[in-house]
Amino acid sequence: MNNRLHTLKYIFTDTLAASATWCLFFIFRKTYIEPKIIKTVTFEPDFNFYSGLILIPLFWLLLYYLSGYYKDIYRKSRLKELWQTFIVVTVGVIIIFFSFILDDTISSYKDYYQSLIFVFTTQFFVTYIPRVTLTTLTVKRLQTRKIGFNTLLIGSNGKALQLFKEFEDQPISTGNKFIGFLNIHDKKNPQLEEYIPHLGSFESLEDIIIKNNIEEVIIAIESSEHDEIGRILNKLQLIDVVIKVTPSMYDIITGIADISALYGSPLIEIPNSVMSAFQENIKRLMDVSVSFLTLFIFSPLYIATALAVKFSSKGPIFYSQERIGKNRKPFKILKYRSMYLDSEKNGPELSSKNDSRITKIGRFMRKTRLDEIPQFFNVLKGDMSLVGPRPERQFYIDQIVIKAPHYLRLHKVKPGITSWGQVKFGYAENIDEMVERLKYDIIYLENMSLYVDLKILIYTVKIVFKGSGK
């Protein structure tokens, strides 16, 4: 399935809807509102009309993007779509009303109400009708198995076989297209092999998912294998796939099992994102906005720091190093050089409090975090965020994971310029300190929100001005 093309269809209809609403409102104003005040109304598009025709659709697209509407474009519920469209249109129309309509010349306050009702009604229906049409056509194609999500089944006997037959026997499909299965333990002659291909061993999970373009993974292991669920989820949560698990009777009774798909078997969906789509998009918007402002406003500081590094010791101004980011993707982190040249000629080595490799200006930069400010370029590029766990080198990650396997959970999010661990603990001087600092980053991951990000940024600013960084 072509997610990008399908998303463009929604963007195109939303753009047309916003443009059409603005044109219809212009006609409404010229034929109904203005004649009450001006006897002769010139029915000609003016500057306000043309500027609105450009800005209004862009405003709506931004609002829809921030609301997360364009995420998981093939997995839309028509009922949720109705509610989401209603809420976003309500918010958007209120903003437009106070920004563009409130200063209109009117004969009475009834004109305001009529304009508001007209814009809302037109925007809602002209937007929702094409949307629900596209979604309905997509749902029909999924239900009739014309398209589907490439699905991997983890399990081989009992539960997995029963689940597979339930899905295949459904007259109305849930959209799952089973590509194959793999089992946890390499059992001989698995029952599922009669129906779908055995794709390999669990150790090759990531390669299997990439090779077969898997979009959804369903875990249907036996009760005797439940102690393996943590190991499975640790691997899967670093891969961009939808994860679902067959529930126990306890899960069903307590309401954990998801029945959003009425035609399918009840499953527990494991969220692969720690923030809602809305908060994720706002976070990214904040990252880009703050980074641009910082680079512009503090450009003299960037130049001064660069000159200080250049004249303090021999070597380049910037220091680039490979770090591991979201979903274990490597990237080059950018910093001002705070150590003498060839400080790691004997291999990777963490810095310490009285490290002789650190230059005088480097010591000051580390206390005030000035060595980190080139990373705003990494944020603009999309490799990093303002706030997130600090990225490490693979050399140290391999050692940390031996003592703390849950470290890999940090790769679910983008690394940050600053973090809760950096604020509370500072730079780590050895593996044990890295593991100790890890608890703060895990706490951040479990409580991640825009509010928490803001608090961490405030504490970071305090550290910068006090020069109290470790």
Same domain as 281, residue 265: no
Q: Which residue has the tokens 């920004």?
A: 99
Q: What is the pLDDT of residue 193?
A: 85
328 and 367 share a domain? yes
| pLDDT greater at residue 448 or residue 464 | 448
Residues 390 and 323 in one domain: yes
* pLDDT surpasses 60 at 249: no
| pLDDT, position 228 | 73
Provide the residue range defining the domain that includes 66. 3-143
Task: Flag whether pLDDT at 112 surpasses 90.
Answer: no
Residue 47 is predicted with a pLDDT of 79
Determine phi and psi for 40, rounding to 5 degrees. Answer: -110, 110
Sign of the dihedral defined by the CA atoms of residues 61, 65, 67, 73, in that order: positive
In DSSP terms, which residues pair with 265 in a beta bridge?
none
186 and 249 belong to one structural domain: yes
Name the β-bridge partners of 244. Answer: 218, 269
The 3-state DSSP class for residue 332 equals strand
Output the DSSP codes for 341-369.
TTTTTTS-----TT-TTB-HHHHHHHHHT
Asked if 179 and 118 count as a contact pair (C-beta separation under 8 A), the reply is no
Q: Which of 117, 143, 169 is where one domain is finished?
A: 143
Q: What is the pLDDT of residues 51-88, one digit of tens each?
A: 889 999 999 999 999 999 998 889 888 888 999 999 99
Do 164 and 95 lie in one domain? The reply is no
322 and 444 fall within a common domain: yes
Provide the number of structural domains found in the chain.
3
Q: Is the pLDDT of residue 270 over 90?
A: no
Asked whether the predicted pLDDT for residue 386 surpasses 70, the reply is: yes
* CATH code assigned at 191: 3.40.50.720
261-276 burial string, b = 16+ CB within 10 Å, else e? beebbbbbebeeebbe
33-68 b/e (C-beta count within 10 Å ≥ 16 → b): bbeeeeeeeeeeeeeeeeebeeebbebbbebbbbbb
Report whether 166 contacts 263 (CB < 8 A).
Answer: no
Residue 185 — pLDDT band, cuts 50, 70, 90?
A: confident
pLDDT score for 259: 52
What pLDDT, on the 0 to 100 scale, is given for residue 354?
75
pLDDT class of 105 with cuts at 50, 70, 90: low
Mean pLDDT of 418-434: 85
Per-residue pLDDT of 363-377, as tens digits, reads: 888 888 888 899 999
Overall pTM surpassing 0.85 (yes/no): no
Boundary (domain end) residue, out of 270, 290, 314 = 270
Among residues of the chain, what percentage have pLDDT more than 70? 90
What pLDDT does residue 42 have?
66
pLDDT digit string (tens) for 333-346? Answer: 999 998 888 777 77
Higher pLDDT, 275 or 389: 389
Specify the DSSP class assigned to residue 39. S
